[in-house]
Structure 1
Amino acid sequence: MYNVLAKHYDSLVKDEDATKQYVEFVKQHMLGDSIMELACGSGEISLALAKTGYRMVASDISASMLKVAKAKDATKLIDYQLMDMTKINDSNHYDAIICFCDSLNYLESDDLVNVFTSVYEHLNEQGVWMFDMHSLDRLEEFSEAFYEAGIVDGVEYTWSICSEEDKLYHNFIFYDDRGNPQYENHIQNVFDPQEVKQLLEAIGFHLEIFTDFEKKGIQSGEKYFFVCRKGSV
């Protein structure tokens, strides 16, 4: 996954304003200074947090995406790890673990439990687990397919998104200079936030849910944000 998309990822979806919002969200809800990011992608959020002064570990399952992330980090502020987030193989504990940009939507329900449990085990007491997920509204939004076509980094591409039942289907096609297509297809699961809340509480987290960064609770919007604390509150 992301073998084709990695080199064009930032050109397609990079959003500096959103990155600033993520950084402020993390600063608002955590104590301490050590953070691990799961599914860091091209590294925008980890790098912004590192420049703010946090001690960052950035992990991703895609070697291609980590290569893009490392290329931005000229002063080597971040420790990068090639890692499947369902199997956190790190002996350290952190003040916060984060996973943004709907990365958890790539998982199945059983994998969610594995991630939540492993995150809990790798947090310091009073550590916080922050992540976002697609809202249920996204299923309705993409019930009629979204389609985009253009040129990015000098390469012609198409990108479509559609929903079916509880899934979102992303289909990318990139054309080389001879017109030969390269395909990349992603499937994301959209979860009921109340069911996710129950899974987290069963593990021992105390949590709050926000919609689109600032709205408290589960409301209409694009993303749900979960702030989950380990230990007594």
Structure 2
Amino acid sequence: MNYDILARYYDALVKDDEATRHWVHWIGSAGSTLLDCACGSGEITRQLAEKYEDVQGMDLSPAMIEAAAAKDTNHQVTWSTGDMTDLSGFGTFDVITCLCDSVNYLDEAGFVRWLDQAWTHLNPGGYLYFDMHSQDRIDEFREGYAEAGTFEDGTQVQWLIESEDNVLYQDFAFYLPDGRTLQEHHLQYIHDPEFVRQELEKRFTLESVVTDFDLPGLQPGEKYFYICRKKETA
């Protein structure tokens, strides 16, 4: 899983302007500096740059960062490649975000490492915002999900999702006009909300948890949204 193929088609496949507005509104303004982990193609990151003085976007995929930087014609964001479980090359921020179920690419150990890094790189009283797949996604994809389409350049895509235990398997196949086939395989981990709560409370004050942006608490839905504030000690 590296997104280097998917980066070419990511916006055409999943871009959702209304959802982007919801994310930006949900985050609000909680300081002047922000780091967006796993920023992808930068759609949300660039809009957050309208609300924060200093915004940095980082992603594991060089191709994603290249695509994000190409759209940032006003140079509002500082872009970099990196692993969000190791933020040692970064300073500290008022806000750290990780959106669009990106934390689900981390297994339990990786999630804990990311929380430790987020705590270390937040300013005193800083905020952590993230969302993740709900438990309902396991049942939703247990029998499999398939989507197909054609992009403007003639490339055809097949997107398959299946779940087994607490893992989502996503397979992408891109059939290019020149006859080539490109494939990517992704794994995502659905985390137990109790495990998430326990790990968060070791490091943060859990200020808000909602489902699908506006349903209070953990309810049936697609995503859980967490707002956490850094504790003085962890």
Moved more, 199-208 or 188-197: 199-208
Matched residue, 2:185: 185
- Check conservation: 2:34, 2:52, Cα contact below 8 A: no
Q: Output one character per residue of 1:126-160: Cα deviation in whole Å (capped at 9) or x when no partner.
A: 11001000000011111121111120132011111
Q: Where do 1:145-156 residues align within 5 Å?
A: 145-153=144-152, 154-156=154-156
Q: Where do 1:209-220 residues align within 5 Å?
A: 209-220=209-220
- Check conservation: 1:143, 1:164, Cα contact below 8 A: yes
In 1, the alpha carbon distance for the partners of 2:180 and 2:53 equals 43
- Check conservation: 1:9, 1:42, Cα contact below 8 A: yes
Q: Output one character per residue of 1:101-124: Cα deviation in whole Å (capped at 9) or x when no partner.
A: 000101110111110011001111
Matched residue, 1:175: 175
In 1, the alpha carbon distance for the partners of 2:140 and 2:217 equals 20
Matched residue, 1:35: 34
Q: TM-score, normalised by structure 1?
A: 0.95
Matched residue, 1:130: 129
Compute the displacement of 1:228 (Å): 0.7
Q: TM-score, normalised by structure 2?
A: 0.94
- Check conservation: 2:208, 2:228, Cα contact below 8 A: yes
Compute the displacement of 1:205 (Å): 3.6
Q: Pairwise CA RMSD of aligned residues?
A: 1.3
Compute the displacement of 1:36 (Å): 0.4
SS at match of 1:51: coil
1:8 to 2:1 alignment: no
SS at match of 2:50: helix
Q: Output one character per residue of 1:58-77: Cα deviation in whole Å (capped at 9) or x when no partner.
A: 00010000000001100101
Matched residue, 1:108: 107
Matched residue, 1:158: 158
In 2, the alpha carbon distance for the partners of 1:97 and 1:126 equals 12
Ranges of 4+ aligned residues in structure 1 off by more than 3 Å: 204-207
Count of residue pairs the alignment pairs up: 230
In 1, the alpha carbon distance for the partners of 2:162 and 2:127 equals 33
Amino acid at match of 2:224: Y
Compute the displacement of 1:54 (Å): 4.1
SS at match of 1:52: coil
- Check conservation: 1:83, 1:89, Cα contact below 8 A: no
In 1, the alpha carbon distance for the partners of 2:180 and 2:44 equals 33
Provide structure 1 residue ranges, at least 5 long, that are not aligned to the other structure.
Answer: none
In 1, the alpha carbon distance for the partners of 2:90 and 2:32 equals 17
Provide structure 2 residue ranges, at least 5 long, that are not aligned to the other structure.
Answer: none
SS at match of 2:22: helix
- Check conservation: 1:35, 1:56, Cα contact below 8 A: yes
1:20 to 2:49 alignment: no
